[in-house]
Amino acid sequence: MDLIISRNPRNGSVIREIPKTPPANLARIFERASSAQQLWAKVPIKKRAQKLLHLRDALCRRVDELSEVIHQENGKPVIEAHICELLPSIDLLTYFSSIGPKALRDRKITIRNPFMRYRRSYLSYWPLGTVAVISPWNYPFFLAFGDIAVAVLAGNSVVFKPSEYTSLVGQKIQELFDEAGFPRDLVQTVYGEGDVGSAIIDQKPAKVFFTGSVRTGKAIMKQASQNLTPVTLELGGKDAMIVLPDADLDFATSAALWGGYTNSGQVCASVERLIVHESIAKAFAEELKSKIALLTPDVELGVVTMDKQKQVYEDHLKEARESGAEFICGGILSGDRTRMLPTLVAGANIESLKIYNEETFGPVIAMTTFKTVAEAIEKANRNAYGLLASVITKNVSLGEEIARELHVGSVMINEVLFSAGLPETPWGGIKDSGIGRKHSEIGIYEFVNVRHVNRPRFSFIRFKSWWWFPYTELQRDFFRAWIKLYEGSMLERLSNVPHFLWCLVTFLKKDRRI
């Protein structure tokens, strides 16, 4: 039997061995998921929302156990598991259980044209079916759990594959849904590497929700396109923090410290680029360096979860050294190679280097300077990614002006990174950072089909529409007169009304539809 080995990234010790799901079993797994989904979709949305609160209760009962599992398998400090994984998950369940029934009820569409008001339209929503959730290792609980919870709220079933590096966390997510009393087979967790993920897509799920690297996201999109399977992709980031000259240095450096080094920088929304006004850059770097020295391993700093990510660090750092970059601090792995020392790097040519342009996905920040606000905006936007940006300033109005010019999915003014933890706000990016949005009322619509229904305003109204066959001269004159109601100034449009009414009456009296 093939096994997925769950290891502690601190010391490589085996935590648990989990049987790999044979790809040949997926067809049957999807069949069971489809059967469960068809029954679940008939459950009223209010009852499905109530079930999320049962899930919340199950999660709250096991917070300490779950935080320890995340700590052991992912390597982040226990407190970060509480702050950045479990509390946001609890908040998400609370929010969506509240807004779900309202967001997914039929929504009226106002017909603006007065000559079409004899009909009315509305939107109705129904589940996609069986969806696939393929999640990453850096936030192995929250990123997967949120997608699965919203998917089932919307009436879907889920086939879930956690990262092979955090399969035990995935197993705990499955246990929570089982404990909360969700129907059997509604949520099914499968285990494996990329071949299992590829086999999932071959089963033609109704949609694929993937969080991970740009390379894998593009491969998933390419494979999914063969069956026109829609995808939501949350991919990478190389997020910039702009520090304006009026910024409070203590506040700004503390923001950069947490934004760049929480979860050891293994965050798609972490601060990887600092764009600091030249008048404060030296003082900013010195103060940030002094605060970096205060971070303690296993308290504020976890370990690097994946060995192959260390190769990316070393590649970026090697190029930076060879190019004469200034290492303000850090720049090396710890002696046992379990940690990347928090790194701050700058230099005259920093903007041409991989460490500034490509996602490092570690505790590494590249710093540059700017003279004008326009230059800062240009530098922030000059990147392949577009997930998140931050602006640090005492002038919030100016911060908002800058935010409107930044090509990203979210901008935080005087804050960093945690926008993904706000369930009320949409989360996602542009460019290489992905497709689609999660969270918020906008995000819930990623999990449903949308149906437009148009009907007579009153059941007794029934007549052949004016645009039906046959096409006639009177019909043409009527519609041409209708178009004239949009031409010219308000006075000109009003002057066309009598002619329109004459054409309407003539058309209705003398013309008949077949």
Residue whose C-alpha is closest to residue 149's, from 434, 355, 438, 378: 438
Single out the catalytic residue among 73, 84, 164, 268.
Answer: 268
- Give the C-alpha distances (Å, rounded to integers) separating 123 from 34, 101, 424, 470: 25, 14, 22, 31
Report yes or no: 325 and 355 within 8 Å, Cβ to Cβ. yes
Burial 29-68 (b: 16+ CB within 10 A, else e): bbebbebbbeebbeeebeebbebbebbbebbeebbeebbe
Contacts with 208 (C-beta within 8 Å, 6 or more apart), sequence order: 131, 132, 134, 200, 201, 220, 224, 229, 230, 231, 232
Tokens representing residue 459 in the block: 């059941």
Single out the catalytic residue among 80, 234, 272, 358.
Answer: 234
503 classed as catalytic: no
60 classed as catalytic: no
Contacts with 403 (C-beta within 8 Å, 6 or more apart), sequence order: 389, 391, 411, 413
Tokens representing residue 421 in the block: 């933890």
At residue 497, what are phi and psi to the nearest 5 degrees? -60, -45
- Give the C-alpha distances (Å, rounded to integers) separating 278 from 192, 260, 368: 49, 20, 9
Tokens representing residue 496 in the block: 């066309």
Catalytic positions: 234, 268
